Structure formats: structure tokens, C-alpha cells
Structure 1
């Protein structure tokens, strides 16, 4: 007797695209659509990063629809379930003044599920799927398995076919490939790299994915007798524990001190209210255990350490956390929570002393806000970001319902009051929030719903504001004045990256002149409000001046 597993489960991840599991194996890890100027001199749309609307279909499939703010690129990707798998129908329309190209990744495939098998392309054997070493500079041509219309994988889990309604599809080995979709993942890429889009002419095509699982033998049920035996001691406090970030001084001894399920924090007045956030983190690390809870004495005093430094002392007669300042005391308590472990059925911490202080004054993350981000982000800050001793967050928040420009609101817009509450929340954790509002390029948010096109550098591709226009200065001042009044930041971030990426001529001198015009306007806003200013450094770095994101045209 044998068992035939035919389950195909579809999913959708916002930045990855369509996913598909066959017999429980996650074979398809994503899909994507890119619309670009031939030669990749400009990008017009990316389903990975661009706006889109995704709906779940009644049969378990998904439909993605997109349209760029200028209306030039639009399209859909509709996936429906079929008896053997699924079919994706594409429709792409470009209405720009000159032809464009589309790159479509029909399936980003998980290589470990396939590389012990074989591949045929249009009935002809392709080269081996086994891993091989490629030079770091290897492109698609060197990595290619071949080009065709029908791709048939024979794999340990069964046969998988991908067939396009048009020719010219290519599969290549993306293991170790220097692109975001391949980072930290072993994948094959199957798609079309250069579909021509003629202005005003819709392009329609489809890709069908079929799966025939292998018949698996039925495994008889067996009863196995087992005898337990005592495990050797699992906890050893002889050396430093794997704390993140790693403290500069850790001296632990043998022996443990009970901490209990809900330690009581004896906090100084400046940290009142922090106990709830700390217990949320501590409680998330371990299931509740039995036993009495210890009392932890927390104080602030001069330890001769830099700001945010601390000393954590764990003795058999008690636990004491001393911070050089309030933030140092918080840091000590997070280290205490990370030291806890179950010993003898109770949560305990090893006896010893930990001293630490920052190596970098700015330790931050960059996050986008949104109307539905509250629960996720508050948990992220309580359980990950603050325990890792981060002290800054750059909140990208231009998509807020600014009263100065009500016409740009969309479904992604965050209410002003909710944004102010988010800033207050992270301040309560000892993290400085920094608002980021893109103020030169990446300003699709400002031109949403066809608004403010008179201030765009290129109204046909509204992406960059033109700071030479008098109305641009007034608009930027109005938004930043409102944001600073609402959020009360110490530092503000103007963005200023990739200003010439969309709807811009290949003219580095022009881009530089716009930068030179915008900077005095923006720095004037910061000076008038008495706040520090930040910006992304990519446009100020020439190629070779940094390991990444050096987008300046030359050193001058």
C-alpha cells in the first residue's frame, strides 16, 4: 500500500509575493514584478517595495493589483487553484512616452527541495542542480540552467512543472547571488528578465505550475520501549553566557540565586512604570515556574562609567542593579532577565557580576509606521529592540494625516494622534524617536491621489519635489512645522536618498543642484526649531567610499 500526498497550499507575503507548499514542503518562496527602463537605467515599479492591493480569492488563490502614482505602470497577477497546482495570469500595461521592460519572477524556488533531482527544459536535460561555486561577479548568464517555456523538475518529493504561455523564460542558480531575494536563502530563480512593454498595449501571459507527488510507502506502526536516565548537569556558569550585546566584563561563579516567576523591582522614582515593560519581556522568555519571587534592588549612582553603563551584582543575599543613569539601570535589568534560566524547576540566575557600557552612542533601527502597526511594534520594542539595548529609532512617518495636506490621505495613512502615542511609547522605554519624512526624493506620498503635481520635478512621474519652486519650500515648512509641534523630537530626518531614481534625466549636475537648493531650506527648518538634522548618506558618497549605498556620481 502507498500514500499519495497532493496538498498544495498557497500563501502571500507582502514583500516576497506568492508562496506555495507542495505536500508540506515550501517549494515556491516568492514572486515579483519589476517595471523598468531598458538597460535598468530607471526603475518604475517593484511589487517588492511598491504599493499594491492583494486580495484572497474564494478558491484559496490570490490577486495582486498595482498602479504607480502617475498611472503609467499598472497591472495584475491573478493566481487560481487548479487540479494539479495553480495558474497565474498576468496583465501589464505601460502608458509612458517610450517603451519599457518588465521583469517577472514567476517562482523563486527553494533549492534544497529540488537539487537532488534533475531538470529538463523543453524536453532537454539541463545541467546538474547540485551546488557549485560561482565567482562573486557571476551574473545570470553564468548561473543559468537554460531558457525555454516548459521546465520539469524531478525531485525527491515528486515532479514539478512550470510552463509559460509565452517563450523566453529562464531559470538560474541564485544561491549566493547578490540580490535581496537571495540573501540568506538557497533558491533558484525562474522568470522572464526582459518582457517588452509597448506604450498603450496590454501584455497578457500566464504561468501554470503542476505537481505530481511521489508515492510514499506506508510505514508500519511500531512500539518502542524506552528507559530514561538522568541527564548530566546542563547549566554551567563557569564562563560568560551568550548575552546580546556581549558585556565587556562578566565574572560568574558556581551557584545560582532564585529569581522566581515575577521578581519585584525596587525602582527609583525616575523609573516608575518600567516594571510592566520589563516583566512583559521577562515573562516572554520562559513559561511560568513555581517558587517565590525575589526582590531586585535598582538604583542610579556614579559608577565612573560612560552614560548608559551599569553594574549588575548577583549575590546569594540579593540582586542589585546599578545604572550610571536611568538608561543604564534599564540595561542592567534586561541583562538580568537574559541571565535567567530554569534550574531545578525554578527560574534562577548565576552568582556573579556583570559590568557593561556602550561602545557606540547611537544604536538604532529604522521602522515604518502605519495604521495597523501598534500591536506588533509595541511587542517588538518591549521584547526585542529595547532588550537589545537600542537607544534610537528612526520612524519613517511621512504617510501621516497631516492637516496641512488632507488630500494625500490613503489606506496607508496613520492618524496623527496614533503617531504621537507611538513616539511617547518608545520614549517611555528610554528610546529616542526620530521622525523621518522624505523631503526631496521618495515623495510619492506627497503626490498621492494626484495631489501637488505642480510642485513635482516631473509631474508625469511624481517622485521628486522641485525645491526651486516657491511652493515647495512652503509645503515642506508646513509639514515639518506640524510634525515638530506634534512629536516634539530632538532630531529630525529629511531622507534625501535616491533623489534621481524615477522620472529624472541622467544628469548628475542637475541632481547636485537640486540637492544644493534643498539643503538650505531643510537645514533652516531644523535651525528654526532648534533640533538636530539627519539625512541618508548615499547621495553624498561616491562609489568606493563605502561598502554599500554609495550612490553619488563621483567624489566631487
Structure 2
């Protein structure tokens, strides 16, 4: 497919229009919209007005936005001729994605927040027809291990929108920090939102920086984030991780832990990385506590899906706990895996009664998957395949393929090198629907999308998030949006590289993204002497 405008992600169809000449955006250009396209008009006037210095008032010829329900959801058609630009979307989101494409057509200078180019905003005649492959095109941002201030999250939403990604999965709680205000339980943020120090590099080195770290979002902060995302047709999916990864909550309220096994009153927000043995107990009071937490979470986040983690929950404390063992006996459960399944099923039913859906990591398959629950398949494809065959919706996000905290090259200069080498090309060649499901259309239909995950144990601020995420997130966005070739191996990586070099790196530069250069990290992007945990060889496809 010939893409003369170096668009990323690649649209389904680009054709040079039959009309000759160009349309020139100028001081007299207007911008208007029909019913349902108002959010795209607001965004486009703000973005292009800042970059060009033009007012783009309504009521004048120039750029016209409209909705046509005959087009697919999130799909759009964009046409440019000498008389103007017309973007028609299947819905409001489709119009918005078409507006994002228009900004790319105008060149990298259109991504600036103030004019650096005087005139010359010429658009050649073109016709684009486009629609996404997947409805869930997501990114996980871990703000629990290292907190990102609200302004950084808002900026990240703009970067997602620029790449037509439409889900931000916010990992809000973990052993190392609780980041969401819960008014009923103020100690969650008073005690759980900060830790005394942090590990430096991988845990085997046992190095710490002795610098307190913390922060949290008020409910009004989160409402602002949700509203800002909604204007960009991005859904925020909150994650409250239970029953494991919960030491910050236990540090705030010791009665939540297995107090009949360990002295939970002595626990503090965890300063280590890794899998923590301190998990929630399974008492009625703990269930009520997290129901109350979720009541406030649902009031802030309108998303259909609520992520409840369910991963990496060691069972040793439950095996030693008389209370947990009594619960197993009371419920007639087989073992501790079934106890976790019961715990997750409880909240699945609780959410369903309120019109929401639970999604969790693939460990929630162990002991039986709650009816109606969806699965984030992170330990390879296997969990997702099993869930899809059982009729459960799946978001494919295998760590072997799309964990963006993993190192980007084998060189010693990569900062805190962990995981397998996942190069730009590796991410570009990721296929969310595994070959075994290509022959099972009913199961494959349950793969509702894909997600790239960025964990932040080794990523302390927005600059380091940029380095880990980009340019690989641009490759992932194309995987999630663009049509699948007849064979996934036929994805044209060379063509993608040409488009990146021709325009998209310059767009990232204009947006201020501190991505990893093709030549390797810049001196200030390295972290010499900070130990990582690199894995050797090719990651297994499981």
C-alpha cells in the first residue's frame, strides 16, 4: 500500500483524489461541524489554532466535520479537494480520528503548541477511508510503582489520541503505593500513597535511594482526567489490584491483612519490587471494605470495565491462616486457588449488579473464571486462548511481546535493562490474535483488542516513560488499528520505518516526546551502573 503522507497508524485506504490542485489552510479558513461532531471540532480548533495562529471560525468554508451512521463505529472518510476538507465519521469518535489524520497531513509543524511556520499549510487532494481493526486499543500506565503527576497523565492522553489509541488502563494501586483518593478511608492516601524509599534497579542488587516517594490523585483530579480523556474518545479503565499486590492498603488498614499469621500493624508501604507475600485476608470485613472503595471508584470512572488485578497472589499466608482455612471449609472449596476464584467471583457479581464488568489478569482463570469476566492475557497467549474458547472476552497483552518496560536493544547502554529485547520491529510484528485462533472465528471474535503495558519499577518520571514507550508505541498503535495483511508476517516493517523517518519522528519531536533514538540512548537517557534483569534468548511464545 502506497502511503504518500507517511501516516501512522496506516489507514485502510489512501488514494490521490481525482481533483487537481491543493487546498491551502489560511487566515480565512473556517471550521464547522454537524450534529455529533462537536468534540472533534473543539479539539481540532484548539490544536490547529495553536499551531497555525488561525482562528478557524465557524460559518466559513474550509473544514467540515459530520457524522454518518452508515460508516462503521470509529471509522471515517477524509477527502481533500481545492474547495476544502470534509471528514465524515461513523460516530463522534470516527470524526475525531479523522481529525487526527488531518493534523498528520498538515505536517509535523501542526503538532506544535505555537506557530513556527508562516503560511504554506497546503494539503494535496486525497481521499482516505479508514476504520480500526480492534475496538480496544489500550495502554497500561503503572502510576502505583512510580507516581506520575496529573499533568503528565493528561499529556500522555494526548499522545495516545495522536496514535488513535482509545483505552488508558491506569494501574492505581499496588504494594508500593495507593494513588486514588477514597474519602471513606483517608489512611489509604495518608499512609499508603508514599513510601520511605525505593529500590534502585533490580531487587537482587538490594540498592535503595533513601528518598521518600509518593503522590495520589484526588477524586476531582481523576474526574478531570476522565473528562479530558472522554473529549479525546479515550476510556479510562481503573485498576484496583486485589487480593495480592495490596501491601499499601494493608499498611493503611492492618485489619485487611492476614493478621492471624503476621503482624500486619508493623507493615509499611513496600519499598521493594517483586511479588509480595502480604495479601488480603478473605474476611467479610475485607469484602465490605473493598465494596466501599469500589463504590467511590465507580462514582469517578464511568467505564464499563473495572480491572481488579488478581495476579501474582501468593497463597502461603492463606495456607497458614486459620481464618482463610475456615473460609475454605465453610464454602466447600477445593484449595487456595479456588478461594481466590471465590474472592474474584464475589466482586464480579457485585460489579455486574451495578451494570459494570470485571476484567482481570489471566490468573483469574485459576480455580474457575467468573461468568461475565474478561481477561487481560499477560503470561503469553495461553490464558487468552483458553478464555476466548470458553466464551470470555480477551485483551491480548502478552509480556513476551508488548511489555514496554522490557529493553529495546541488547546493548549495555540500555537503561536498567530488564526482560527480553523487544525492538521496534518486534513490537510491529506482534499479532494479537494467535494463529491457533485464526481457524476458530467464534473464539477469535472474543479477542476484543490488545494492549501494551508499561510498568514503572524502573521508570521514575515522564522522561523515562517516553523513552520506554516510544517509538514502540507507534508500532503498537499500527498493530491495533491497521488492517491485518493476509499473513501477519507480511507486515511491511520497512515501509513503517520509512514513514517514521519521513515524518513521524518529527511529529514526536514537535510533541516533545523524548523517545529512544534509532542510534541508541542519548547520554542522559542511560543509567550506568544501575542493575537490571535482562533475559537471554528469544522470549517463548506461550
User: TM-score, normalized by length of structure 2?
Assistant: 0.50
What is the rounded CA distance, in whole Å, between the counterparts of 1:275 and 1:369 in structure 2?
Answer: 31
Q: Which residue is 1:198 aligned to?
A: none
Structure 1 unaligned segments of length 5 or more: list them: 1-236, 551-556
> Is the contact between residue 259 and residue 294 of structure 1 (CA under 8 Å) also seen in structure 2?
no
The reply on whether 1:440 has 2:243 as its aligned counterpart is yes
Residue in 2 aligned with 1:186? none
Aligned match of 2:133: 359
Q: How far apart, in 1, do the equivalents of 2:118 and 2:380 lie?
A: 57
Shift of 1:481: 1.5
CA–CA distance in 2 between the matches of 1:448 and 1:262? 61
What is aligned with 1:97? none
Deviation at 1:487, TM superposition (A): 2.7
1:20-169 aligned at under 5 Å gives the runs none
Matches of residues 189-338 of structure 1 in structure 2 within 5 Å? 239-252=3-16, 255-260=21-26, 264-282=30-48, 295-302=62-69, 304-338=70-104
Is 2:344 the counterpart of 1:519? yes
- Please tell me whether the aligned partners of residues 31 and 62 of structure 2 are also in contact (alpha carbons under 8 angstroms): yes
Distance of aligned partners of 1:417 and 1:451 in 2 relative to their CA distance in 1, 3 Å threshold: farther
Segment of structure 1 superposing worse, 259-268 or 351-360:
259-268
State how far apart, in whole Å, the 2-side matches of 1:262 and 1:374 are: 37
Q: 1:406 aligns with which of 160, 176, 186?
A: 186
Alignment correspondent of 1:171? none
Is 1:378 aligned to residue 167 of structure 2?
Answer: no
Aligned position for 2:488: none
Q: Answer yes or no: is the 8 Å Cα contact 2:89–2:95 preserved in 1.
A: yes
DSSP-derived class of the 1:485 partner: helix
Whole-Å separation in 2 of the counterparts to 1:488 and 1:290: 34
Q: Secondary structure at the match of 1:438?
A: strand
| Offset of residue 305 of structure 1 | 3.2
1:482 to 296, 317, 324: 296
Measure how far apart 1:259 and its partner are: 2.2
Number of residue-to-residue matches in the alignment:
310
On the 8 A contact 2:170/2:237 being kept in 1, the answer is yes
1: CA distance, partners of 2:380 / 2:162: 36
Sort the Cα spacing of 1:321 and 1:454 in 2 relative to 1 into closer, same or farther, 3 A: closer
Q: Post-superposition shift, 1:544?
A: 7.7
Looking at structure 1, the residues matched to 52 and 171 of structure 2 have their Cα atoms a distance apart, in angstroms, of 35
| 2:120 is the counterpart of 1:346 | yes
Secondary structure of the structure 2 residue equivalent to 1:437: strand
How well do the aligned residues superpose, as a CA RMSD in angstroms?
3.8
Which structure has more strand as a fraction of its residues?
1
Summarize the Cα distance change of 1:495–1:261 in structure 2 as closer, same or farther, 3 Å threshold. Answer: farther
1:533 corresponding residue in structure 2: 358
Does residue 1:421 correspond to 2:224, yes or no?
yes
Tell me the CA shift for residue 538 of structure 1. 4.9
Residue 489 of structure 2 corresponds to none
Where does the alignment leave 5 or more consecutive residues of structure 2 unmatched?
A: 110-116, 174-178, 194-213, 268-275, 321-333, 366-376, 384-396, 401-542
How has the CA–CA distance of structure 1 residues 354 and 460 changed in structure 2, closer, same or farther, with 3 Å as cutoff? Answer: farther
Contact kept in structure 1, 2:12 and 2:130, CA below 8 Å: yes
Distance 1:421 1:538 in 2: 32
| Closer/same/farther in 2, CA of residues 448 and 467 from structure 1, 3 Å limit | closer
Instruction: State the SS of the aligned residue for 1:452.
Output: helix
Distance of aligned partners of 1:481 and 1:312 in 2 relative to their CA distance in 1, 3 Å threshold = same
Equivalence for 2:112: none
In structure 1, C-alpha distance between the alignment counterparts of 2:97 and 2:316, rounded to whole Å: 44
Q: TM-score, normalised to structure 1's length?
A: 0.49
Q: 2 CA distance for matches of 1:386 and 1:404?
A: 34
Q: Is the 8 A contact 2:40 2:92 kept in 1?
A: no
* Deviation (angstroms), 1:402: 0.7
SS at match of 1:484: helix
- On the 8 A contact 2:106/2:123 being kept in 1, the answer is yes
- Is the alpha carbon distance of 1:287 and 1:271 closer, same or farther for their aligned partners in structure 2, counting shifts above 3 Å? closer
Contact 1:251-1:352 within 8 A present in 2 as well: yes
The alpha-carbon distance between structure 1 residues 457 and 405, as it changes in their structure 2 partners (threshold 3 A), is farther
| Partner residue in 2 for 1:10 | none
SS in 1 for 2:347: helix
Aligned match of 2:515: none
More helix by percentage = 2
In structure 2, relative to structure 1, the CA distance for the partners of 1:274 and 1:459 (3 Å cut) is: farther
Question: Which SS does the other structure have where 1:521 is aligned?
Answer: helix
Aligned-partner Cα distance in 2 for 1:289–1:271:
20
* TM superposition shift of 1:257: 1.7
**SS of the counterpart of 1:327?**
helix
- Indicate the structure (1 or 2) with the bigger Cα radius of gyration: 1
